[in-house]
Structure 1
Amino acid sequence: MVNKSAHNALLDWYTTDGRHELPWRKTNDIYHIYISEIMLQQTQVNRVRDEYYPKFLARFPSIKTLAEAELDEVFVLWSGLGYYSRARNLHKTAQLALNGLPCEKKELLKLPGIGEYTASAICSFGYRQNIPVVDTNIARVLKRYFGLLEVQDKTLWEYAASFVNAADARAHNLALMDLGSLVCLPKNPQCEMCPLRLECKGKGEPELYTQKKKKEYERLELFYALYIKDGKIALRTSQEKLYKGMLVLPNTEPIEENFIAAFKHSYTKYRLTVNLYHVDKITDEFVWVELKELENAPISSLTKKAAVFIEKKGEIYGF
């Protein structure tokens, strides 16, 4: 049974040191909370808070406005966040939940792009239900606090449920999240500052609980064409899993005399080498996009990187 002093110490710490200023914590709008949770997956808090979250909600302030928008519009505001399936699922979910997101976890799990964590977060942070939430930061805190090594996710969620403070589950979950983000760090945790240090079983060797298998990445080499004419660039709609539905550069055969530049790019599990070639025609289906409007088009971060070379090499190739 969890010592009440641990609960009290955790909430006291959260009161004074928690990230209360985050805009999605100062609203009761379920849709806004949902948007923040999707954006925060694989994206730094500061980038979401300062750039993407306010811009997205300014354009799509309600689930209805998002549902009625074209997917291309959603991609434009998502550009640079990566993991574009999140944007597609946001759009699909909005169309399926025009009357608002359901308040039951099992119903939320039926919607595109909403998994165990996101459903729990919406229920806890939005609907203020007495349920556990486990993200990467909370998982690290729980593993160290309970001394859990090589534990399966199901077991971790069970421990989280046993630890929830029924008096204020929302604040409890947010406190654990902030503790993992600010104090119980993957490397060099600040154990002396932790409100749970007295009962923490992992404080002696905290690194034991953060050891991970080395990630294996798939390396790909891509060959793209820069077909530019009269201040416009040719782009195609991607049908591949990589950037599906977004405007990307056309593929081309690598011809040495047409080579412009190469750059590295990372995307999820892929490590890409991108080669750019100047061409004066392409056979694939494409659309023209004004170069001056390129940044407002639904393009990927990879295409944005390529645009830098258009600026650099424009005079040489007559762009």
Structure 2
Amino acid sequence: MALESAFAARLVAWQKIHGRHGLPWQVSDPYRVWLSEIMLQQTQVATVLGYYARFLERFPDLPTLAAASADDVLAYWSGLGYYSRARNLHKAAQTVMAEFGGAFPSRREEIETLSGIGRSTAAAIAAFAFGQRETILDGNVKRVLARCFGVDGFPGDKKTEAHLWLLAERLLPADSRDIIAYTQGLMDLGATVCSRSRPACSVCPMLDACVAARDGRTAELPTRKPKKAVPARETVMLIALHDGKVLLQRRPPVGIWGGLLSLPEFESTLAIEDWLAANGEGDVLPAWPVLLHVFTHFRLTITPQCVPLQRLAANHCAEDNHVWLPLAQALDAGVPAPVRKLLLYALEGAPRHPS
């Protein structure tokens, strides 16, 4: 196809003039490239910028990250979401130190063995940090290719995705010296021009050869994922307060908010009354307004239940996964975003809506 043969050259030329330049992770240091690629997964550049700088200030290099505690890493990731990324980042840093002598691997196949790194992310690191001729295929790239070449089918479907990988490999520039500009160009084109809604087709370097633009199909390509009903869940979160401190509970290492400190959860207010009877003396105050938190796959309705305790039982919360922290200190710990809202609400003394 004519576009296939011209795609890389058009993209490289466009990126050098119109692409994004001067981003803090546009360097050859594999640690900084890797960190940015993990943070940018399912997160916008504007959001990542602040977290990226703060994280690097605390963990300036891979050995520092590997030697840190999981709690410290999660605390500096707090608010960025998708916390498995932070746990995998920490684990991968330790693997690089233990199995690669502290030197970040340069080959895509080796990078892909590290925790939390799939084929596309490994390819991006190999291209940006080491100039390797590897192809990426994230969500933005899938959208660009589906529109430019008229690829039907939901990109998450295995057959469609396999087709897109083969196409992406054919489109790579022949000269590996162009791989950085080409890879950045793919990301830039998808993020700033070929956006999901309202694509700026008039400034696209592929306009005259794009199938979707030619056939008026930009709204239907790539094919959308079949919609499913979003499940709804409910929980009651206990805000137990005593002597200026709040009770937090370590969540299991896997699952939602895995490994983070969070507020203890109960099925009902009655269950909290039973907890109070066993753990001390105090009042179960009227519930605060509910807080809605939306995850990728479900919606969680949180009923915050505040319980100021005048006295703790002698055997209160002997479990290792419970800890009392001063409210201000709890805010700086690795806690999920909705829990942070509730802690701020408690610190300010209520009673306004925590959202």
Q: Same fold (TM over 0.5)?
A: yes
Paired residues for 1:273-312 under 5 Å: 273-279=301-307, 280=309, 284=317, 285=319, 286-312=322-348
Helix, strand or coil at the partner of 1:227: strand
Alignment partner of 1:97 is 2:96: yes
Contact 2:7 2:171 in 1 (8 A): no
The one-letter amino acid of 2:40's match is: L
Alignment partner of 1:7 is 2:8: yes
Paired residues for 1:189-208 under 5 Å: 189-203=199-213, 204=215, 205-208=217-220
Match of 2:221 among 209, 234, 241: 209
Match in the other structure for 2:276: none
Deviation at 1:233, TM superposition (A): 0.5
Paired residues for 1:56-95 under 5 Å: 56-95=55-94
Identical columns (%):
36
Take 1:313 and 1:208, find their aligned partners in 2: how far apart are those partners? 49
The one-letter amino acid of 1:287's match is: V
TM-score normalized by the length of structure 2: 0.83
Deviation at 1:71, TM superposition (A): 0.4
Paired residues for 1:213-232 under 5 Å: 213-232=226-245
Helix, strand or coil at the partner of 2:265: coil
Take 1:6 and 1:115, find their aligned partners in 2: how far apart are those partners? 25
Alignment partner of 1:156 is 2:164: yes
The one-letter amino acid of 2:261's match is: L
Deviation at 1:294, TM superposition (A): 2.1
The 3 A distance-change label for structure 1 pair 208 and 260 is: closer
Helix, strand or coil at the partner of 2:346: helix
The 3 A distance-change label for structure 1 pair 261 and 160 is: same
Deviation at 1:135, TM superposition (A): 1.1
Contact 2:232 2:298 in 1 (8 A): yes
- Specify every segment of 5 or more residues in structure 1 that has no aligned partner in the other structure, as ranges: none
Match in the other structure for 1:53: 52
Deviation at 1:211, TM superposition (A): 3.7
Match in the other structure for 1:261: 289
- Specify every segment of 5 or more residues in structure 2 that has no aligned partner in the other structure, as ranges: 271-283
Take 1:169 and 1:251, find their aligned partners in 2: how far apart are those partners? 49
The one-letter amino acid of 1:32's match is: R
Larger Rg over CA atoms: 2
Helix, strand or coil at the partner of 1:23: coil
Match in the other structure for 2:113: 110
Take 1:127 and 1:305, find their aligned partners in 2: how far apart are those partners? 41
Take 2:351 and 2:134, find their aligned partners in 1: how far apart are those partners? 60
Contact 2:120 2:135 in 1 (8 A): no
Bigger mean CA offset, 68-77 vs 5-14: 5-14
Helix, strand or coil at the partner of 1:288: strand
Take 1:87 and 1:264, find their aligned partners in 2: how far apart are those partners? 24
What RMSD over aligned residues (CA atoms) do the two structures have, in Å? 2.0
